[in-house]
Amino acid sequence: MAKQAKERRLTTAEAMAKVRTLRTSPRKLNLVAQSIRGLKVQRALNELEFSPKRIAIDVRKALYSAISNAENNHNLDIDSLVVAEAYVGKNLVMKRFAARARGRASRIEKPFSEITIVVREQGEAV
């Protein structure tokens, strides 16, 4: 007896890519995600290419992955794709300590975050 397949969360004209462990805080990653929301895919790639933010390189890879998913898995036209959604979530936090004066220690938190990018064909865009 086979397990029932899950319903697809996206419509037929959408594709998604998710990166789960990006070594930056969600607050910093959201600044980059905001810069590409609602843009055409080629414009978003250019935006990320010339962004001064370090994490823009990883977001660009995620966008390429979403484009590839759209083309190969869902047979969408890559010239008419738009970044429909780009949202950020929290992930794990590495806890470290730094030695301080008089034998004390202070906590250093190294946050990770995740990004989900959904691309949609232009004809279906709202």
Counted domains in the chain: 1
Q: pLDDT by residue (tens digit) across 5-55?
A: 888 788 889 999 999 999 999 999 999 999 999 999 999 999 999 999 999
Give the whole-number percent of the chain exceeding pLDDT 70: 97
Residue 9 lies in a domain: no
The pLDDT of residue 124: 47
- pTM across the whole model: 0.88
Domain coverage including residue 45: 14-124
Q: pLDDT by residue (tens digit) across 108-117?
A: 999 999 999 9
CATH number of residue 85's parent domain = 3.90.470.10
User: Which contiguous run of DSSP H or E holds residue 113?
Assistant: strand 105-121
Give me the mean pLDDT over the 61-83 stretch. Answer: 95
